[in-house]
Amino acid sequence: MSAEFAERLLPLLPELVASYQTPFHIYDARGIVATHEAMARAFGAAGHRQYFAVKALPNPNVLALLRAAGSGFDCSSAVELRLALAVGAQPGDIVFTSNNTALPEYRAALAAGALITFDDRSFAKKVDELPETVAFRISPTGLADGCALMGSAAHSKFGVPAHELAGAYAEARARGARRFGIHGMTLANELDTGRAARAAAEVIRLGARVAEAVGIELAYVNVGGGLGIPYREDDKPIDFIAYAEEILAAREEHFGPGGPRILTEIGRYVTGPHGVLVTRVINRCRKGHEIAGLDASMSALMRPALYGAYHHISLPFAGGRPAGRFDVVGALCENLDKFAIDRELPEPRDGDIVLIHDTGAHGHAMGFTYNGRLRPAELMLTDGGDVVEIRRAETYDDYMATVRWGA
Ligand SMILES: *Cc1c(COP(=O)(O)O)cnc(C)c1O
């Protein structure tokens, strides 16, 4: 959670939890826009555009804020395309980077005027109409580094192997493609600025090599997303200015002055630190170890259960209490439903407000409704300091809305 967000949110919390039922996520509009603007500034006017990865925080209110700040959108499904269009995205404002794509979704992307990345050579052959601009995604097997969240390179499900790229572009050209891009993303939640920049530079280098081999000109290089955020208090944030500088230097090195546009499709880094899950302790108990049961469960935040991901937890009004070690748990009938295991915290008591930090990306969006645990509300702290509800909590009626009685 950014320090600025904490400073503006904490004084509002007592009133907020009195007017809105916990749990809820709350996002910081000012922090989200400021982060986008700083990213755009780091690249300068030098032929770059950032497309927010919609999957990270698909609330249309957030998308509208980002659009107003000049962001495009990275979509990978038909619904994400509709969300981008719903906030006014125009042709050219969307990149469509999917994998294992269904034809109707591809056609929706084509109709939306998106820049389309083909994940797969055979899919590009299958479609009846190619877009004017064709890009292929490089498989991580063709690049230097792998990463745990992306799976091992040898078993990656993403992209075209490097040695098949030239053939893929030649086929696309033979079928009428007139402009070309290339896409590569091999990192997820990467906190090492140098490593992230080197991975992007490698995509640029490979792009230059393939373009030369095939005799095409690249209109853009999309270096994907995958930048990490400091989930742990002692994590160091990415130096985005250095990241952008190294990418621009790699472009100059491999393409000379000018060169293709650089596209980024970053999600987590834009919104992750600008969201928190506000929840309360409802059951303190001891079962051999100390447990704090919350009124939120993994329906609100899957990452700890899904990846063992660390989210910092704070009790803003428990200062001065003795510290201990606690498991922080939800109410699902699943032993995985824990936000933290053996975490040092000031002793929680029933009714305490608990903040689970950095839920602005892949938080609410990943929620689910197993066990009848419904997804919570989303609020936004506006630039002017007001709090607005931008998605209400789900209800029984929502849960039943897709049911047809008929048996
Ligand atoms: C998930 C994803 C992104 C965004 O990743 P972040 O880690 O949120 O920056 C971008 N592009 C593709 C293809 C993705 O799958």
- The least confident of 117-131, 303-317, 329-343, 388-402 is 117-131
Is a pLDDT exceeding 60 seen at residue 298? yes
pTM of this structure: 0.94
Residue with tokens 């742990």: 232
6 C-alpha to ligand 1 centroid (Å): 26
User: What would you measure as the largest C-alpha separation in the chain, in angstroms?
Assistant: 71
Segment 370-387 shows an average pLDDT of 96
Closest to 95 in 3D by CA, of 111, 74, 78: 74
Across 112-142, b (16+ Cβ under 10 Å) vs e yields bbbbbbbbbbeebeebeebbebbbbbbbbbb
Token pair for 4: 């600025």
pLDDT (tens digit per residue) in 301-324: 999 999 899 999 999 999 899 999
- For atom 13 of ligand 1, the residue with the nearest CA is 97
Q: Pick 288 or 137 by higher pLDDT.
A: 137
- Residue 46: pLDDT band (50, 70, 90) is confident
Closest to 361 in 3D by CA, of 233, 228, 186, 238: 228
14 C-alpha to ligand 1 centroid (Å): 35
pLDDT recorded at residue 159 = 87
pLDDT recorded at residue 143 = 62
137 C-alpha to ligand 1 centroid (Å): 13
C-alpha–C-alpha distance, residues 80 and 75, integer Å: 5
Amino acid code (one letter) for 119: D
Reduce the DSSP state of residue 264 to 3 states and report it: strand
Token pair for 41: 């500034």
- The least confident of 79-93, 104-118, 120-134, 345-359 is 120-134
- Residue 142: pLDDT band (50, 70, 90) is low
154 C-alpha to ligand 1 centroid (Å): 20
For 71-112, the DSSP string reads -EEEE-SHHHHHHHHHTTPPTTSEEEE-SS--HHHHHHHHHT
Range with top average pLDDT, 59-68, 151-160, 333-342: 59-68
Is a pLDDT exceeding 90 seen at residue 126? no
pLDDT (tens digit per residue) in 265-283: 999 999 999 999 999 999 9
Query: β-strand 72-75 against 48-53: which pairing, if any?
Result: parallel
pLDDT recorded at residue 145 = 47
C-alpha–C-alpha distance, residues 266 and 73, integer Å: 9
Reduce the DSSP state of residue 256 to 3 states and report it: coil
- Residue 140: pLDDT band (50, 70, 90) is confident
Token pair for 40: 């755009």
Give, as one character, the DSSP assignment of residue 237: P
Ligand 1 atom with the shortest distance to the CA of 362? 8
Token pair for 247: 């990418």
Is a pLDDT exceeding 80 seen at residue 20? yes
Is a pLDDT exceeding 90 seen at residue 22? yes
Amino acid code (one letter) for 223: V
Mutation test residue for ligand 1: of 187, 238, 266, the one with most atoms within 8 Å of CB: 266
Is a pLDDT exceeding 50 seen at residue 150? no
Segment 286-294 shows an average pLDDT of 94
pLDDT recorded at residue 288 = 87
Nearest-5° angle of CA 363, CA 159, CA 66?
Answer: 40
Element of type H or E holding 354: strand 353-357
393 C-alpha to ligand 1 centroid (Å): 26
Q: Pick 86 or 152 by higher pLDDT.
A: 86
pLDDT recorded at residue 71 = 98
Catalytic residue among 75, 147, 285, 333: 333
- For atom 3 of ligand 1, the residue with the nearest CA is 225
Token pair for 191: 């906190």
- The least confident of 136-145, 156-165, 266-275, 382-391 is 136-145
Active site residue 285: no
Treating both helix axes as pointing N-terminal to C-terminal, what angle do 60-68 and 29-43 enclose, rounded to 10 degrees? 40
pLDDT (tens digit per residue) in 156-210: 788 898 889 999 999 999 999 999 999 999 889 999 999 999 999 999 999 999 9
What is the average pLDDT score of the chain?
93
Segment 379-398 shows an average pLDDT of 97
247 C-alpha to ligand 1 centroid (Å): 18
Closest to 165 in 3D by CA, of 203, 128, 137, 201: 137
Q: Residues lining ligand 1, CB < 6 A? A: 53, 55-56, 74, 97, 185, 188, 224-227, 265-269, 361
Closest to 229 in 3D by CA, of 169, 161, 296, 303: 303
Domains of the chain: 3-26+272-400 (2.40.37.10), 29-270 (3.20.20.10)
